[in-house]
Structures are given as C-alpha cells and as structure tokens.
Chains A and B, each alone.
Chain A
Amino acid sequence: MNPKYEPLFTPFKIGEVEIPNRIVQCSMGGTTLFGWLEPSHFDLEGADFLLKRAKDGVGLVLPGMQVIRDTMGRKWLDSNRQMYRVLKPYMEEYHKTGGKLFIQLAGGFGRSMAVTPWMAALGRNDVLNKLASPIVDVQYACASASATPNRWADNLTSRPFTIEEIQEMVWHFGATAKKLRESGIDGVEIHAVHEGYNLDQFAIANMNFRTDQYGGSLENRLRFATEIVQEIHKQAGDDFPVSLRYSVRSCTKGWRKGAMPYEEFEEFGRDLAESEKAVKILQDAGYAFLNCDNGTYDAWYWAHPPQYMPDNCNLADVEHIRQFIDIPVACAGRMDPVKAAEEIAAGRLDAVAIARQNLVDENWVTKIKEGREDEIRPCIRCHNGCFNFSKAAGTENMQSLGDSLHLGRCALNPPTMQHNRYKIVPTKNPKKVAIIGGGVGGMECALVLKKRGHNPVIFEKEDQLGGLFLTASAMTFKENDKDLLRWYKDQIAKAGVEVRFNTEVNDLGTIKRGFDEIIVCTGSVPRSMPNIKGFDKTKSFRQLLREKSVEGDTIVFLGGGQSSCEAAYDLVLAGKHPIIVEYGNDLVAAQATCLANTSFLRDAMEYHKVPTYLHSTITEIGDGYCVIKTPDGTFRQECDAVINGIGFVPAPVGEKAPHVHRVGDCVAIGNLRTVVWRAWDVCMRI
C-alpha cells in the first residue's frame, strides 16, 4: 500500500464501538437492508451489496436511509418481527468481516419528498389522500415542522406534524433501535439535522414557524433530534452508539435556490455561527458521532456533488465545527482519499465518508490496500443510475417508476444492486465478435465479452479509443470523465483486446465473413435544422471542446440541454460570454438527469448572468451574428459563433440482421447508463 493512505487504515471509536478503519460508507438511497419504497422487509439484494462492501474492507457501512415508518403500507419499522429474525444471522456473518454496520433511521422527507405527478395529485386533494391513506398517505409523508412549499411540486404545501405524531415517531425510533441492537446491529445513525430532510426542517428557523416546544429557539428546533437520541438510549441502552447525519451549513439562498461554492450570500438555512452552537447541543444530548456535509434539497449539489463541484467541497466547514465538540467527525462530499488521509493524520478529521465510489467499484478499498489504486474505476458523479430524481420548471419528480424502485444502482457498473440481473457467465461457445466503434459502448462490450470467454475485436476509425466521450470529457471540470476514459483504455489493454485503429467500417459485409457476431457501436451525429437560415454555419461541440477550433468571446448555444449548459459553464470559467437559446421552458429538462446536477447548472447560469432565452429559437445565423426570436420579440445578436446544441441522432452502420447487434447512441440517444447497461444486456446473451 502507498504510505499516503496509511492513516485511513487505523481504528477509531464511536462511543464504545471500535471501527476498524477510517473509511465510512455513507448512506445512499436504495442500498437499504429493509427495502426502499416497498413495505419494510429483509432485502436480499441490499444485504448482498452491503456484505460485499464489508468484505472489501469498508470500516463502517451505513445502508441506505430507512424511514421509521414505511411510505408505502405505512407500517412502523419496528413492527416486522420476521425481518429482525433474519437480520440476526446476517449480522453474525457480517461481523466475520471485522466491519461494523449502523442503520440510518430517518423521520421522513417532509417538504423534500420527491413526489411524482400522481403523488402530488393525492397530496393536493384531501378526499383522494384520505381514500389512499391505508396504502400511501402523501400528506403524512410530506408533513413537516410547518406549512412549507414542497421542493418538487408547485402548489403542494406540507402540513405541520402534531405534537402527538412527533412523540409517536420518537418512541418508534427508540423501539426500532432496541430491536436493531438485539439483532446484532452495531449502532444507528439518525438522518436528522441534514440535507433539508424532515428533521432538518424542524431545525432550520426559516422552515419552522411553530410556537410550541418544537419551534422558536435553537434548543426547541433541535428538540425533535435530541428527544430521538434520548429515547434510543432509554430503550436500547446508554452504550448503544448513535451517530448523527449533519449538514454544517445549508448553503441555501431561499426556497429552491442554492448557493454556488464561491458565492457570497445571505444564508436562508443554517449558517456556520448557528452550527457551532447546534453541534454542542447535539453532542450534549448524546450523539456519539457526526457524519457531516453541507446542503439541503434546495442546494442539492452540496450533499450530492456533481462533477462541477470542487473536490472536498465540504471539508473546511466540517473541520471548523469539529473544534467545538469532542466526539469524532467524518466528512462527506467528493472526498479525495489522499486528502482525507492527510487530514486524519494531522488530527483535523476522524474519518472519511464516501458514498458513490462504493457503487462503481466493488473492490476500491482492496485496490488501495494492494497498491493498485490506478485500477479503481472512478465515479463520474453522473447520478444516472444511483440517484436520478429529476425536475424542471413546472414538473414534479420526473423519475420513472422503475428507477424510483431501484435507487443505488450504478450507470457504469450494472451488477451493483442487481447482481442477479447482470452477471458474467462464462460462455460454452466462444465466438469471434467484431465491435464497430471504440467509444464507451464498444469498450464496455469488449470487456464483458472478453470476461465471458469470447474473442472481441474493436474497429475504431480514429487513432484513439473514446469516441464521442472524448468530446464529452474535454471540459476543464471533467477530470472524473477523463479518469474514466483512462481506466477504460487501461482495461482494454490489460484484457488483451485487439483494437484496429484508423479502420472505418461503412459496410458490414466487408467484415461479416471473419466474425460470428457484429456489434455496432457507432454512436450519433449532431441533429440538423436546415430550416434555420444559415444553419450550416453552426459549429459542433467537437469543434468547440475537443478540437478547440472555435474562437471568440461571445458564443451562442442553440439548445439548452446538458451538453450546452456544461459547455457554457466551461466557457464562463474561461472568462468568456456564452448565451443560451432554448426552445423549452427550462434548461436541462431531461428525465434521466439528477436534480443535483441540473440545479447546479441552472443556478450557475443565473449566478454568472449567462443570458438565457427560454421559449426561444434562432431564426437566422450569419457571419458574426444570429437572430434570436423570443416571446418578447426578435433581435439581432452579435456573436463569434453559434454552437449546434439541439441534440443528436443515432448513426448506426449497416442494416439490422441476425447476428448484428446495436449498442449505445446508435440505437437511441441516451446517456452513459443506457450505453453501458445495453452493452451488458446484449453481451450477456451472445
């Protein structure tokens, strides 16, 4: 092992429980032991995933958040006796790894509940909500400290919890913790004063207008969280360690408005000064560990940082509040393990909390221990597979039902949380397979086929692998994407896959005879709109980002999708002046892209004052200008270039035929998840 990682592999204590090393796996929605949206039960898929994480060497595993009362079915978590019976032998097996496991318990989402259109309809209508309440009570699921607006749905307001409901919930926290302890669980973490969830809504003054003992002073606003830890100690024992998931700062400017990492602003939520007092109150109440980051659902990119956020984005704030308490503190949020090790060695931090990396590479801790860190597949923080709650102006949560049921999967690693669906089964009939195109889809196909025992050959028209991803990863802030490309190239080389560079295949007939199967992974080409006068003068993302052949300061983007916004942000960082023209009513209004990612881009465009014209289009492009048509009128805009950001169309080679398959954007335009998962779906069955 490289010595710079050594501080990570030293033990520490939470209460009386010794954690074997400083690596904490943060809770991720969906990676639960007792089910996610389903009625609580012992979840075999989650159990398998979590056990593998312990075997890899994660010191403390926190399974996905478990709401104390099921959203669906409305049963209390302590009521399923069979679940706890199964849990006991599982924990005996788990403890053989030497790792520890705390269950994260939550008091619900409150106004942050990611309601879908049908849930919003129920929540807005008292009669419909009452009728549906034995199965799902949306008004209860969205209930909060006070009447506050829902993060996801317009015209949906949370109702305030009654004191009886709060105290009922507090009792069930204690009862659940007692059962968990009896089943061998090492501790619990309360998802409390964190990320704008329900209990955080009690803690934040601007979200809590109560006049009873749960509102007003800071002590009162933290009363719910302090009563929970006291009840747990009462029922489960004083020595049962209780961790607290805690957001140091809310980094929130107002309802649905986050603050940029470098922005000076007036805090709407919890600021650092209040946090200094809050952590002391929470420690004194009995919490034994603080698992920290920043943010709320309104500033989601702090708690779930996409690639646009800086590394270690929450570290300074976390280390600051650690000075005010004596209990150990972990920091989450794009944590670099090397930086974390340095901070732990220097005594400024006790543990590093890492989440999504655990989904993308099931052996990343082992690889560090064995000095093979260059083999770790990097997380690109896309949230496409693990956490794709999405929203645009005027929509509720647009996530598909299938994704709502299965959070915690991975765009880049399909077997994660679906190991029975995606697995490598050695073939009994090895075949020679031609793969046309060496982008991510082609490389993923080659790796899966090679692992199964087939003999793949990649035909790549350029002199390097990467395809369209070479352009997508070209932006300055896309270091993770570049790492992923490097990882793919290394894996292809290590697997001994034959790659024929500078070989363009336009006719499948030319290679058909030499191969048993052909997989076409030729990606897509930019969409064209010839009805726009001068459209042929537009430049492509490839020219802008990869070839860097687009010069000038004022660049207009025709289309406000993710590619345009990312490229515009890259230009902003370079001191240039992009302009976005979008036909729809919002930027990045795509179903599969997480709100943490899209809200950063929207907030960044607003903060950097990027002129953004919605419901608008370009009607003419000329030399040094374009004509923009908006609802308020049409005007001529001087510019140095117009970028074609209206999207892409599939560009497959050859016709569909037996033994000819298609993978990636040449089937339908998607994202890395659709590319990688389809690569597995096809290659598992060849």
Chain B
Amino acid sequence: MKNVKKLLVLACLGCLGFGTAKLLKTDAAQEKLFALLGEDTYLAILDKARLLGDLLMWPIDFVRALLP
C-alpha cells in the first residue's frame, strides 16, 4: 500500500512538473516572466534552461534508439 501511495505521489509530482513546464513555455507566461524577472535575469535563466533541455535529450535519444 505504501508503495502504491509513493507511486501516486511521484505520478502527481511528474504531472505537476510536466504541466508547469508546458505552462511556462506559453507565450503569455514568457511575457509575464520577462516583465517580472527583468530581461537580464530572464534571458540568463532561459539560456541555461535551453542547454539543460538539450543535454537531457541525449539519454532520451539514446534510449529511443534502443526501442524495437
């Protein structure tokens, strides 16, 4: 039962993270963040986030290539 609960919590956190990422990628959210953080901070974070996203794709591509 404990394991099921843990899995549920993890699934909820995953969905929340995915939803937040999707939301943050919308044009409206980006405009708001830009105004809120200021362009220098916003662009610095954006740059790092893009590089992180690119690097995360490596293991994903690697695993995808192994799929039948």
CB distance from B45 to the nearest CB of A (A): 12
Q: Which of B34, B42, B62 contacts A39 (CB 8 A)?
A: B62
> Considering the chains assembled together, what is the distance between the CA atoms of A435 and B39 in angstroms?
16
CB distance from B41 to the nearest CB of A (A): 11
> Number of contact residues on B: which range applies?
20 to 34
Point out the residues of chain A lying under 8 angstroms from B34, CB to CB.
685
CB distance from A118 to the nearest CB of B (A): 14
> Considering the chains assembled together, what is the distance between the CA atoms of A81 and B65 in angstroms?
8
Contact at B46–A681, with CB atoms within 8 Å? yes
The residue on A at minimum CB distance from B46 is A681
Point out the residues of chain B lying under 8 angstroms from A681, CB to CB.
39, 43, 46
Point out the residues of chain B lying under 8 angstroms from A35, CB to CB.
61
Q: Say yes or no for B4: interface residue by CB 8 A criterion.
A: no
Q: Say yes or no for A211: interface residue by CB 8 A criterion.
A: no
The residue on A at minimum CB distance from B38 is A656
CB distance from B17 to the nearest CB of A (A): 20
> Considering the chains assembled together, what is the distance between the CA atoms of A82 and B31 in angstroms?
38
Contact at A82–B43, with CB atoms within 8 Å? no
**CB-CB under 8 A for A661 and B39, given A38-B58, A72-B58, A685-B34:** yes
Point out the residues of chain B lying under 8 angstroms from A685, CB to CB.
30-31, 34-35, 39, 42
**CB-CB under 8 A for A405 and B54, given A681-B46, A682-B39, A685-B34:** yes
Which secondary structure characterizes the binding site on chain A?
Answer: loop
Contact at B50–A421, with CB atoms within 8 Å? yes
Q: Report which residue of B27, B34, B38, B39 has the largest number of chain A beta carbons within 10 angstroms of its beta carbon.
A: B39
Q: Say yes or no for A369: interface residue by CB 8 A criterion.
A: no
Encode A665-686 as 1/0 by CB contact (under 8 A) with B.
0000000000000100110111
Within 8 A of A (CB), among B18-54: 27, 30-31, 34-35, 38-39, 42-43, 46-47, 50-51, 54
The residue on B at minimum CB distance from A81 is B68
Residue pairs across A and B with CB atoms within 8 Å: the count is 53
CB distance from B49 to the nearest CB of A (A): 11
**CB-CB under 8 A for A402 and B65, given A661-B39, A681-B43, A685-B30:** no
Q: Say yes or no for A644: interface residue by CB 8 A criterion.
A: no
> Considering the chains assembled together, what is the distance between the CA atoms of A105 and B40 in angstroms?
41
Q: Report which residue of B46, B50, B58 has the largest number of chain A beta carbons within 10 angstroms of its beta carbon.
A: B58
Contact at A82–B30, with CB atoms within 8 Å? no
Point out the residues of chain B lying under 8 angstroms from A75, CB to CB.
65
Q: Say yes or no for A79: interface residue by CB 8 A criterion.
A: yes
Q: Say yes or no for A425: interface residue by CB 8 A criterion.
A: yes
Point out the residues of chain B lying under 8 angstroms from A82, CB to CB.
64-65, 67
Contact at B43–A678, with CB atoms within 8 Å? yes
> Considering the chains assembled together, what is the distance between the CA atoms of A686 and B31 in angstroms?
7
Q: Which 6 pairs across A and B sit closest by C-beta, in order of nearness?
A: A685-B34, A41-B61, A80-B65, A39-B62, A39-B61, A685-B31
Extra inter-chain contacts (7) besides given A39-B62, A73-B62, A83-B65, CB under 8 Å: A35-B61, A40-B61, A402-B54, A405-B54, A405-B55, A425-B27, A685-B34
